[in-house]
Amino acid sequence: MIVALIIACEVGFWVLLAAGLAVRYLLKWRRTSVVLLLCEPVLELVLFVVTAVDLRNGAEPSWEHGLAALYIGFTVAYGHYTIRWLDGHAAHRLAGAPRPPKPPRYGTARARHEGRLWLRTVLMAAVACALLQAAVWYVGDGDTSSLRSFQWIALRTAGIHGIIALTYTIWPKKRPESALPARDPEHVPDVLVRRPGKDEEQVR
Residue 38 pLDDT greater than 60, yes or no: yes
Dump pLDDT digits (tens) for 98-152.
999 999 999 999 999 999 999 999 999 999 999 999 988 888 777 788 899 999 9
Q: What is the CA radius of gyration of the chain?
A: 28
Residue at 127: amino acid letter:
V
Q: Which residues contact 28 (CB under 8 A, 6 or more apart)?
A: none
Tell me if the pTM is above 0.85.
no
Position 180 confidence tier, pLDDT thresholds 50, 70, 90: very low
Mean pLDDT value across the chain: 86
How many C-beta atoms lie closer than 10 Å to residue 201's C-beta?
Answer: 9
Q: Classify residue 137 by its DSSP letter.
A: H
